[in-house]
Structure 1
Amino acid sequence: MSSLQIGLAIAGGAVLAAVVAHGAWTSRKNQPRQPVQDPRDSGLLAVEPGLDGSEEPTLDVSRFTLPVALRKPALDPLIDAIANIALEPGSVVSGEAAMAALPPTRRVGTKPFAVEGLNAVTGQWEAPAGGQRYSAFQAGVQLANRSGALNEIEFSEFVVKTQAFADAISATPEFTEMVDEVARAKELDQFASVHDAQLMFSIRARNASWSPGYVQQHAAKLGFVPGVMPGRMVIAASTEGLPPVLVLEFDSQAALAEDLEQSAIRELSLHLDVGQVDRGEQPFERMCEVAIQLSQTMEGVVTDDNGRPLTQDTLNGIARDLQGLYSTLEMRDFAAGSALARRLFS
């Protein structure tokens, strides 16, 4: 082979190698970013066998305990229409009898319905329970929630359910006037509609998309733990059983994909349900901090729900408005994160 042929062969090989390298680089660039194992992560990630026998990093959730549900709040005249249910003087009803008399559903239309008994020993109102005895009862239906105000049809259903319970335990119910309760429900619903704040930020990828594992790894470093639904992570409240402080969501289909490494995510949503979270958790401050840190570490941009980039002036304005909202809710005995606020804004 002549020197010219050798030179051409070498040049051709170099060009071919460059083409292959460029193709590999382009393919790698367009792939969703993957989580990286870091020994400094203090065990947040564990290595488990993959389906093909290889090892891949996955989020270790064994360190986290998800909140359990707390007992539902007691009936309160501020938010419930309440009917007193009187027994014959000196009579008591067992918890078992009361439970057997309860209606099969605990809703009236779109509103929660509840029955409580006055414990003959402790003197406390509580949900009927086995092994207890009760000297009086009360039934209640919530006046308003995010489904709207209690209406005449729902109040009539409340009367029917309460009367059936009272008849089953040989008691007599006393109902308030429907027109008064419906008027109260409308006033409460109007207040709730004006003061119901649910904030959402979007975090959008600037360049390369993200894999579910990549999102989970970065979110876990900021305190998020897996939620009960695919594509959902939460920062739990400091008190176990209360609603989460923040919720991070991404495409659930991406989270359920067979090949998670090829599942591409280009947008995350960060949610704060103001009425559900105690002011002392500093939820908005944490929301801003989380959004900024995720956007920086994952090369994204923070926007509102209309896709407009959020500026510091915008965030400061939201913070000022929230302080006024918190104060108004507290003055009406619906402090954010309280039992009554969680019921009203649900």
Structure 2
Amino acid sequence: MDILNSMSDLQLSLIIIGAIVVAGVAIFNWLQQQRYRRKIQAAFDYDHNDILLDPKHSDDIPQRVEPKLNKPEFSESSPDAFQADDTYIPHQENKKVFVPPSSHPNSSINLSAHASSASPLLDYDNITNYIVNIRSESIIPNTHIAKLLQRKFDFNKPVCWLGQRQKNEPWEEITTESNVDSDGYVLLKGCLQLADRAGPISEVNLSKFRDLVQDFASQAHAIAECPDIVSTHDKAVLLDKFCADVDVMIGINIISKDDGAFVGTKIRALAEASGFRLESDGIFKYRDENNHVLFTLSNYESSHFLPENMKSLTTHGVTFLLDVPRVAHGERVFDQMTHLAKIFSNTLGGILVDDNRVPLSESGIQKSKQQLIEIQTAMKKNHIQAGSQSALRLFV
């Protein structure tokens, strides 16, 4: 009361006016966000099928149509014959390709009829992995196997160990936890990945892994089967060349008109109403029911979309991106991404453009879709299905 008594009428009036202004701004922002959400919801009120779940869509890849892209031809006959030019280019630099302007049988580890779908972690093959076998007539104790698990990170590429507790039992991935709970295994498979976006595995690391396996087998009184190192390294280099050719991201930009700007609150409301979620890396991600990322929404400018900054953020554009080798049924996902991009463009009052800020036509969008189809077809012919567990491991 003493404080209030010591204040003049002017000071009290200023405090009250300030409080009213702050409350008014908060109420205005809330009303604006609700208005955006109603407009966005109205854009989605019409009935449209989920193109990823619609059973009428066939799993067949559409036939190739002109124009042909200026990309190397891929082998259809053998997974060991990845076609590429003679210049070795590691696929450590992920290619970002925006929508253009308008102008040997697979020898997987067969665990059971439905093993791959039930346990994707067991879906390892000798196309993308150096696979060794360790066989023993008696159980190899888990204390021995723990020594192998301790070396999983010594080869600059991911390693997975699979095991059978008895010869007729199913394969399982061996982790530190599962190994402690087991009595040991009689059969082991070590799967060392041959390449990723950092490039192919080195011949030195292949040799180190083989030597580890052979020394382990000798100490465990088991038999080790290790493929040839030189030919495996050659295969790793060819695999990496192939991955570099298909490592493409296709995107669509939406920029503002007449040097205007998009408001962060409106972008967030629109994104969340569309099914995106803003994640810790500052990018909105659209995920499927299995939590796999289908495509992303990022800031066209250099700054990220951070939750604490969205209310004050303005930007001249946003970018939709689809990582082609990491997405199954890419042509359907591309259609869904394009559909959402058009809704964003209409709602935000922006323009669909390519990476050179040239307005996009339907023919330009279809060219990008055709490029995506050709890439995923090439992957399928070489026994690396886009969006599969193998692809997710390779393109990381």
Question: Same fold by TM-score, threshold 0.5 exceeded?
Answer: yes
Q: Is contact 1:235-1:247 (8 Å) kept?
A: yes
Matches within 5 A, 1:44-55: none
Aligned to 1:277: 327
Matches within 5 A, 1:1-346: 36-38=33-35, 72-87=121-136, 89=137, 91-95=138-142, 97-99=144-146, 101-106=148-153, 108-109=155-156, 111-120=157-166, 123-128=169-174, 129=178, 130-131=181-182, 133-163=184-214, 165-166=216-217, 169-206=220-257, 207-229=259-281, 231-238=282-289, 240-241=290-291, 243-250=292-299, 253=303, 255-256=305-306, 260-279=310-329, 282-346=332-396
Structure 1 residues 193, 140: CA separation in 2 closer, same or farther (over 3 Å shift)? same
Give the residue type in structure 2 aligned to 1:185.
Answer: A
List gaps (5 residues or longer) in structure 2.
1-28, 42-118
Q: CA deviation at 1:252?
A: 7.9
Give the residue type in structure 1 aligned to 2:164.
Answer: L
Aligned to 1:10: none
* In 2, Cα distance between equivalents of 1:184 and 1:306: 37
* In 2, Cα distance between equivalents of 1:118 and 1:71: 17
Secondary structure of the residue aligned to 1:271 is: strand
Q: Is contact 1:85-1:138 (8 Å) kept?
A: yes
Structure 1 residues 137, 121: CA separation in 2 closer, same or farther (over 3 Å shift)? closer
List gaps (5 residues or longer) in structure 1.
1-31, 45-69
1:217-251: per-residue Cα shift (whole Å, max 9, x none)?
0111222122232x21111123x14x211111126
Secondary structure of the residue aligned to 1:307 is: coil
Give the residue type in structure 2 aligned to 1:179.
Answer: V
Which shows bigger deviation, 153-162 or 183-192?
Answer: 153-162
* In 1, Cα distance between equivalents of 2:385 and 2:307: 41
Does 1 or 2 have the higher relative contact order (CA < 8 Å, sep 6+)? 2
Quick one: percent identity of the two aligned structures? Answer: 24
Secondary structure of the residue aligned to 1:337 is: coil
Which shows bigger deviation, 265-274 or 325-334?
Answer: 325-334
Question: What's the TM-score once normalised by structure 2's chain length?
Answer: 0.63
Question: What's the TM-score once normalised by structure 1's chain length?
Answer: 0.71
Residues paired across the two proteins, number: 284
1:68-118: per-residue Cα shift (whole Å, max 9, x none)?
xx863543112111111222x2x1134565235412543622x21222112
Structure 1 residues 310, 158: CA separation in 2 closer, same or farther (over 3 Å shift)? farther
Aligned-pair Cα RMSD in Å? 3.2
Secondary structure of the residue aligned to 2:126 is: coil
Q: CA deviation at 1:335?
A: 1.9
